[in-house]
Structure 1
C-alpha cells in the first residue's frame, strides 16, 4: 500500500511539473521555407484550444489532433465556442501551388491556409518543428507548449520529391517501412520508390504464381564482405522474405495518409534471375538456375516470348490494383544481351519486327509492356537504359548514369526524374573516416548532395518543365539492417528534401548544417540512427607561399579545432588551430572538433609522406571525372595516399574510358631512383587496372629522351601497385602515360562499356 501511495505522489508531482508551459523552440525549419519571419510573443497550446477546419481539410486536422493525442496525451475539442484560442485549417483557393501553404502563428490563434489537403499537411509538418524535439517521443504528456509567433509562406520547387529503398537485396519489416515513410513525410517528400524485385529476391506476393513466394523470395546464401574481395566468401544461410498483398495494401494506405505515393518497381527485362529461378521457362535457355547469392548484373534475363509477356501481364494485373498512383516502375536497366544474341527466338523476333539489334529488341520489350500498362490507366517509369534503341512513347525516364539520359529525354519531350550516382546514391560512402560501415564504394558526402541542382544546364527554359524532380536511392547490397539503412539515408535524405523543395536562392550549406544540427535532436527523439558528420574535419595539404601546409576546416564555424603532430600527445590538451600548419617532413597530424572541453566528432588523422614530387608542378590530361575528381591533379603529388579499401575518397582520381597523361616538372634537375603508384582494381564496379604503364624523361646528363613501358600484372586483388626502377637518373621532368584498360569483356559486369581507371599518389624517391 505504501509503495502504491508514493507512486501516486510521484505521478502527481510529475503532472504538476509537466503542466508548466514549455519554453518556445526557436524554429530552424527544414526544408527552408520561401518566406519566413518570426514575431514577438507566443501561442500557448493546451487542452483548452479549439480546433476548426474547413470541410476539405478535416482529414488533415484529424491527423494533427491524433498526433497531439499521441505526443501530449490530449486532443483538441472541435469548434469549441467557449475557447479564446483556436487552431484553424482554412482552404484558400488563392494559393497557386497545390502543395503550397501559409502558416500564421500569433498569440490567440494558429492559422493554416492551403489549397489542398497536401498543402495543409505540409503546413502541419512545418508547425511540428515549432514543438520541442522531446515531444517526438511522447515525453511531454499533458504539457502546455509555447510556440513562437511567426508567419511562413511556402511551396515546393518540384512536383516529384522522392526516396527509394531496395528490399530485394535485403528485406525489411513492415514496421520499418512505415518508419521510413514517416521520416520522409516529415521532410515533405511525396514519393516512395519501392524496389521489390531483383536477381537476389522477389518480395511481393503474386497469387497466380506461388513459386515467386516459395522459390524466388529466398536465396540459399549471401555474399559476406565486398564483391571485390578475393576470394569471395558466403555465409551458408538461407535468406529471404516477401510482403503479402495485405501488407502491401496496409503500407500503401499508411503512406497515403501521409500524402506519399508509393511507386513499385517490377524489374524487366533484366534483374530477373530470381523470377527465372522460380519459372525457368521465362529465360532464353529454359534451364534451371538459382536465385542469385551475390551482387551484380546477371546474363539470365527475361526472354521476349509470348509466355514471358503473359507472365508479366498477369503479375502486373495483381500489382497495379495495389498501388493507386499513376506510375509503375519497370526498371529497364543493366540487361545484358548475351542470352538474346544466342537465342534463336530472339533473333527471329528481331527480323520479324524489323529491329536493328538487341537494343532495339529491348526497346520493343519496353514499348510492349508500356502499351499494356497504359491500357490499365497507368504510366511507366524506367531507368535511363530504356532510351537505348528508342524510347517508349509515354515513358518517364529516371536518369541515374549521370544527367545525359535526362537531357536526351527532356529534349524529346519526355518527363524526367534526376537521380544520378554523382549526387543521389546514398549507398556510397559519406565520410573518409576509416570506421565507416562497409559500402558499395564511391564517395558522396552531405555537402555534395546539398549542392545538387536537378535542372541540367543543357536544357532550355522551355525544356526545364519536363524535369519533375529528383530522388535519393538506397540500394541495399551492403545494407543489412534497419539501423544501417537509417545511417546511410539520413541526413543525406534531409539534404535531398531541401534540394527538391526549397528555392535554390534560399539555400546555403553553412546555414543548412546549422539547422541540421538542431534537427538531429528530433531524429534522436525518434530513435533514428543517422550519420552525424557535422563535426568531422575536412583536411588537405596545399602549397601556400612556397610552403606545404596542413589546411583544416569544419562545417560548424563556431566550434574549436584542436590538433597535434605529436603521437603521444592527447588532442584535448593540444594546440588550438588558428591557421594552416607548416609541414617540414613526413608527419602524422591528429585533430578533433571541440565545444569548450567536450569533443564533438571523431578523431581526424592525416598522414603526410614526404617525397620528391611533393610541391612540384603537375599537368594532367584529361581531367578526371567530375564524380571522382579527388583533390584534383595536385592530389596526385600531395604526399597523401588514398584508402586501401575505397576508390571514392579525396585521393583517388577516376577516369572513365580515357587514356591518361601526367607530366611532373621539378624546379631543378632532380635525382630519381623510383617512381611508384598504384591502381584500384574493382571489376564489379567497372574499375580495371591498366594492362601497361609508360614513362618518358630527359636525362639531364646527356639530354637524351628515354622511354620505358612496363606491363602490369593482372591479378585478383583490389590494389595493383607498380614501381619503375630508374637507378639514380637526373631529370627536370617525367611524363607518365596510362592507357585505359579498354572495353569490359563479355561475361563481366558492365560488359561492352569502357572501363574506369583509378589512380593513387605518384611517389617519387
Structure 2
C-alpha cells in the first residue's frame, strides 16, 4: 500500500514546532473525560473554554467497543517561558502540559484548530490526527486596538472581537475610549461626560477629503457604563487577555472640553467634534485640569487592573498653549524650552500620579517630543523611528507603524472596496512584517515587546465593517507576533487561512476573503520590457483574460506574463471551472517613457512604493480615489527630482503628469513642475518646459507641458513640494505629502 498522504495542519498562528504523523489517531465523543487540577482556579477557567466548545459540537458517544478518549491537562515546571505549552495527541487521547494556565488556554486553542471543526465527521465525532506541538510566543505583547470614540460598538460586538483575539493567541486589547468626537466611558464624578461629551449633534458624511463637507444631521453617541466596562474586562480576563484603557491627553480632548470648558485654555464653549481630524482645543495644564484628570484616572484604575494605562499623547496642537498666559508662565517657572517640553512636563506629571498608584503609562511616540517620561513605554505609530529612539534610550516599545499595522487602511485595490481612511495595507504586507528593526543591537532589541494592530473607526460605523477591516489582517499579525522569525512564509499562511475563512463564514463573521481575488499588475521597467502579470494569493486556479478594444484574439487563457498593448484588460479567476474571487481590470496606455530607466535623486517614502520608482513609468494610472495603491509614489516633505533615460535619441513633444490632492490627509499638489533636457554642448541641464500647479476641485490634478519637439535621450523632472502646511488647515506646521502618479511622455 502507498504511504498515507498526511493532511497539513491548519493551525494559526503557526506553532514553533508541529508534527503530524497520522491523519487519525484519536476519536472524541461526548463521553470524553478531562483530567486537571480542579483546585487551580486559573486552570479551571482555561478548561471551561474547552468544555464549552465540546458541548457546542453536539457530539455523539464514542462507538461501542472503543475506549472513550481522555484529555489530560497539567501545569509543569519544565516549560520555563510564560504562555508556553506542549500538545500531544495519540490513540488514547490528548495531553496538554503548559508553564501556566495561559499556556493551557493556548494549547486548547491549538487543539480546537487541529480538530478541524469545519469538517466534523458524519457520525458527530471529532477526529484528531496523531500530532505533537511544542510552542511558545516570540513576543510578550501581542495586541489589537479598537477606537470607539469615532464610532462605538455594542458590548456583544466588543466581546466577539475579544473572542477572535483569544482564538489567535493575542493577549492585549487596547481600548481607545475618549476622543474629540465622543467620550465613551462613564465617570461618575463628572456626569456631563455622559450627558454632553458622549454625544455629537451629527456626523460627517463621506470622506473628509470630499468638499464641501456634508453631515447627516443625526445625533450620535453613547457610552459604556461602568458595569458594562467591568463585564468586558472580566470577559477578557477569562480569555487571558489584558484590557488596556486609553484616556487621551493632552490632545484629542474636545469632547471633554465641550462638557467642561474650563479644562481648555480659552474657557470658551465648544461642541463635540462632528468631523474627523486634529483639533486645537486641548487640555490646558491648569491645576483644575490635573484635578479632573487624576479623578478620571482614579475611576478608570478601579475598573481596569492593567499595569498599563494608555494616555495617548499624540497629535496635540500647541496653538492655544502658545497664546495662553498660564502656559507661558509654566514654561518660564519650570525652565522649559518650548511648548513641546511643556507637553512632556504635562505627561510626566500624569506619569508620577499613575506610578504612585502602581501603574505605568504607555503612549504614542509623540511622547518622545520634549523628553520622554522616565518610566514610559512607547507605541511607535509614525513609522519605526520613534520606537528605535525609545529602545536606544532604554524604554520598552510596542511597534504599531502605519505601514504594517493600521487596519483602517484599504486592504485591496479593487473598486468594490468600502470607503476607508486611505493608505493601502494588503494582507501579505502585514504578514511579512517583523517588529524588531535591524538598527537595534541585541540588547536594545530586548525592549521591543511586540506589535499591535490598530483599528481607527472614522469610516467603520458597524460591527460588520469592523470585522471586514480587522480580519484576516489580525490573523496575519498574530503569526507575526507569536511565531516570529520562524514564520513558514506567506503562501503557507494563505493555505491555512483558507480553512479559517470558511470557519468564520460559518460563524457569520464578515471577514475579508480576498485570497482568490485576481492580482493584475504591470511588472518590469527600469529599462526591462514591461509585462502584465496575473496571480492570486491562494496560488490556485486558472485565469481568463479579455482585452478591449480587441486586437487579434480578445479572449485568451493566461499562461505566463505577456507584453501589453494599449487597452483595457479584464481577468477573472476560476477554480475547478467555477468563477472564484473578484475579477480585476487594468487600463494600460503605452508612451515613450513607459518602461524606461528612472533615477531618483530625492527619496520617496518607503511605505508608498519608495523602492519602486518605475511605477510612475509603467503605463498605468493610479486610483482616482486612493493615494495608497501600488501606482502612486509618495514623498513626505520632499521634492521629486528624477532623470528618465533612453538608450537612443527620442523626439519628445509633450509631458503629462498626475498628482493627488487630499488636504485632509496632509496631501497637497506640488507648487510647480519643471522639465529639462541634457545639453551636451555645455554639459548642463536646459529647461524646456514648466508649469505651476493649481489645486483641483476634486482629488486629481493633471498638468500638461509642451516640450517643443525636443530630440534627446535624457529628461530631468523636478516637482517642487507644497512645503509646510498653512495654519488653520489639517496638519498645520507639518511638511506636506506629495503623491506622484504616471509621468507620460509623448
> SS at 1:72's partner residue?
coil
For structure 2, list consecutive stretches of 5 or more residues without a partner in the other structure.
1-5
1:505 aligns with 2:486: yes
Aligned twin of 1:39: 21
1:373 aligns with 2:354: yes
Distance 1:75 1:627, change over 3 A: farther
**1:456-495 map, 5 Å:** 456-495=437-476
Aligned twin of 1:552: 534
Question: Is contact 1:663-1:733 (8 Å) kept?
Answer: yes
> SS at 2:161's partner residue?
helix
Deviates more, 1:141-150 or 1:659-668: 141-150
1:322 aligns with 2:303: yes
Aligned twin of 2:47: 61
CA distance in 1, matches of 2:306, 2:84: 21
Question: Is contact 2:689-2:706 (8 Å) kept?
Answer: no
**1:303-342 map, 5 Å:** 303-342=284-323
1:225 aligns with 2:206: yes
Provide Cα deviations, 1:299-328, integer angstroms capped at 9, x if missing partner: 000000000000001111111111111111
Shift of 1:478: 0.7
Over aligned residue pairs, what C-alpha RMSD do you find?
A: 2.3
Provide Cα deviations, 1:121-141, integer angstroms capped at 9, x if missing partner: 000000011233348xxx999
CA distance in 1, matches of 2:248, 2:214: 27
Provide Cα deviations, 1:7-49, integer angstroms capped at 9, x if missing partner: xxxxxxxxxxxxxxxxx98531100011111123421111222
1:406 aligns with 2:387: yes
Distance 1:567 1:185, change over 3 A: farther
1:443 aligns with 2:429: no
Aligned twin of 2:12: 30
> SS at 2:501's partner residue?
helix
CA distance in 1, matches of 2:81, 2:369: 36
CA distance in 2, matches of 1:249, 1:323: 8
Shift of 1:565: 1.7
Question: Is contact 2:689-2:707 (8 Å) kept?
Answer: no
Shift of 1:623: 3.2
Aligned twin of 2:3: none
Q: Aligned to 1:650, which of 630, 633, 636? A: 630
Distance 1:553 1:73, change over 3 A: closer
Aligned twin of 1:675: 655
**1:26-175 map, 5 Å:** 27-40=9-22, 41-54=24-37, 55-56=39-40, 57-72=43-58, 85-134=69-118, 143-175=124-156
Deviates more, 1:627-636 or 1:199-208: 627-636
Aligned twin of 1:4: none
CA distance in 2, matches of 1:278, 1:568: 64
Q: Aligned to 1:759, which of 733, 740, 744? A: 740
Shift of 1:237: 0.7
Shift of 1:144: 1.8
For structure 1, list consecutive stretches of 5 or more residues without a partner in the other structure.
1-23, 77-81
Aligned twin of 1:246: 227
Question: Is contact 1:700-1:730 (8 Å) kept?
Answer: no
**1:177-216 map, 5 Å:** 177-216=158-197
> SS at 1:30's partner residue?
coil
> SS at 2:306's partner residue?
coil
Aligned twin of 1:595: 575
Question: Is contact 1:69-1:75 (8 Å) kept?
Answer: no
Shift of 1:518: 1.4
**1:556-571 map, 5 Å:** 556-566=538-548
CA distance in 2, matches of 1:72, 1:630: 53
Shift of 1:109: 1.9
Provide Cα deviations, 1:351-380, integer angstroms capped at 9, x if missing partner: 011111100100010000011111111111
Question: Is contact 1:194-1:264 (8 Å) kept?
Answer: yes
CA distance in 2, matches of 1:720, 1:347: 43
Aligned twin of 2:617: 637
Aligned twin of 1:383: 364
Q: How many residues align?
A: 732
Aligned twin of 1:267: 248
